[in-house]
């Protein structure tokens, strides 16, 4: 699970790219499927429909390259990639993790989410905007904020099942927080910015990986049924109450968690977060999700780098039919803050190899695709 500031500290073995070829690798057995991919929100904005058309047309042909903000509201990782390669990734994902400390809510806050400059600058330069939300609530100690469920002082006993109890403090807090996020998403909608929206991720945690496994985040701590109710509650609140039609909804699967799936009518894309590609092979997981959700795009929503693995593995995986819609390596807090000279996850050589495969869509190519 993610720790403070979400700094990944394990050895990751996920998205692996070829360093030997500048040409796209053709699959040995290309999937021949005639599927119509339909947005779950029939009122999606023209900008969302335009982005969706590109994503669906490129699906299983090329992968959109992506990065995540260093913790919250910036494009530091994207700038790293540009400094290393002279090219920007197509997607930058921002995180509402510190929204509770935003200045427009608490004048003493140290971060101002109402300043959309990082988002608008990225979008106006041709980039795709993504948002996720490590939804922090008050910890049991009454002081800190956390996503982690449990009874320890630094964990939270926040009960997601209270989504069914409008009189509860938890329900009122959920409404407040969702409405707060909605305010910023509305600003993006008014500016014509489509958003790839990935909330409530990794809900099942490692529940199905081994005996004693469980949820990593409070939104999954009450089980599948409560989680699905929470997802649909958020969808209804954002789409039907706040009239947010600029979102592409991404649900993150733990592969064995079929019963946690919220439903085709409230999900556009099924994602997978994989940091252990040797233990959970990417091609195998992709094929499993493709079979389970044949009418959804499948994406590698989070990943690491896997430096210790043969660098030809990505091409082999691609040729075997592992065709993620996009990928997003995690950020390196220490590198971005000058306490490490080497990027722990996706560094310079990794990104050079990624673009050299010819299988990746960068920001410039995405801009051209969206202009067609």
Instruction: List Cβ<8 Å contacts ≥24 apart for 33-42.
Output: 33/294, 35/294, 35/295, 36/295, 37/295, 37/296, 37/297, 38/295, 39/248, 39/268, 40/249, 40/264, 40/265, 40/266, 40/267, 40/268, 41/239, 41/245, 41/247, 41/249
SS3 278: coil
- Structural Rg of the chain based on CA atoms: 20
By CB atoms closer than 10 A (0-12, 13-18, 19+), residue 31 is exposed
**Residues 44-53 as b or e (16 or more Cβ within 10 Å = b):** bbebbebbbe
At residue 176's C-alpha, the angle toward residues 170 and 181, to 5°, is 125
Q: How far apart are CA 237 and CA 232, in angstroms?
A: 8
Of the residues 28, 202, 225, 291, only one is catalytic, namely 202
Say if residues 220 and 262 touch (Cβ distance below 8 Å): no
Of the residues 291, 302, 320, 342, only one is catalytic, namely 302
Q: How far apart are CA 115 and CA 103, in angstroms?
A: 10
CA distances from 174 to 127, 150, 212 (A): 31, 18, 28
Say if residues 313 and 43 touch (Cβ distance below 8 Å): no
Q: Which is it for the CA torsion 43, 62, 299, 323, positive or negative? A: positive
Q: Which is it for the CA torsion 225, 231, 137, 68, positive or negative? A: positive
The DSSP secondary-structure symbol of 238 reads I
202 catalytic, yes or no? yes
Q: How far apart are CA 68 and CA 80, in angstroms?
A: 11
CA-nearest of 316, 359, 301, 363 to 62 is: 359
Residues pairing with 270 in the sheet = 251, 298
Q: Which residues are catalytic?
A: 202, 302
């Amino acid at each position: 699970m993610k720790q403070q500031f979400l700094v990944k500290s394990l050895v990751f073995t996920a998205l692996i790219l070829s360093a030997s070829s500048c040409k796209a690798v053709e699959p040995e057995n290309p999937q021949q499927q005639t599927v119509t991919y339909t947005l779950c929100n029939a009122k999606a904005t023209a900008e969302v429909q335009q982005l969706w058309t590109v994503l669906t047309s490129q699906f299983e042909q090329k992968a959109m390259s992506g990065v995540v903000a260093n913790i919250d509201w910036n494009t530091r990782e994207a700038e790293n990639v540009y400094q290393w390669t002279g090219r920007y990734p197509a997607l930058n994902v921002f995180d509402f993790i510190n929204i509770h400390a935003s200045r427009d809510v608490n004048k003493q806050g140290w971060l101002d989410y109402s300043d959309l400059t990082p988002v608008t600058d990225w979008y106006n330069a041709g980039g795709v905007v993504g948002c996720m939300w490590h939804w922090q609530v008050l910890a049991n100690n009454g002081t800190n904020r956390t996503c982690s469920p449990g009874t320890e002082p630094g964990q939270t006993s926040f009960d997601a099942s209270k989504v069914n109890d409008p009189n509860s403090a938890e329900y009122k807090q959920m409404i407040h927080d969702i409405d707060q996020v909605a305010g910023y998403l509305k600003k993006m909608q008014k500016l014509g910015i489509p958003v790839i929206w990935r909330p409530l991720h990794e809900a099942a945690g490692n529940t199905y990986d081994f005996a004693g496994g469980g949820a990593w985040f409070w939104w999954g701590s009450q089980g599948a049924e409560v989680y699905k109710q929470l997802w649909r509650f958020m969808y209804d609140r954002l789409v039907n109450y706040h009239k947010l039609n600029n979102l592409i909804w991404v649900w993150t699967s733990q592969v064995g968690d079929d019963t946690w799936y919220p439903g085709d009518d409230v999900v556009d894309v099924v994602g997978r977060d994989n940091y252990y590609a040797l233990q959970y092979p990417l091609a195998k997981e992709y094929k499993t999700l493709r079979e389970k959700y044949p009418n959804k795009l499948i994406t590698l929503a989070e990943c690491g780098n896997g430096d210790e693995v043969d660098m030809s593995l990505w091409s082999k995986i691609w040729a075997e039919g592992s065709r993620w819609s996009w990928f997003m390596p995690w950020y390196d807090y220490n590198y971005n803050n000058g306490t490490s000279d080497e990027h722990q996850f996706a560094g310079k050589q990794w990104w050079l190899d990624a673009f050299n495969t010819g299988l990746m869509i960068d920001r410039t190519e995405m801009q051209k695709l969206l202009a067609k």
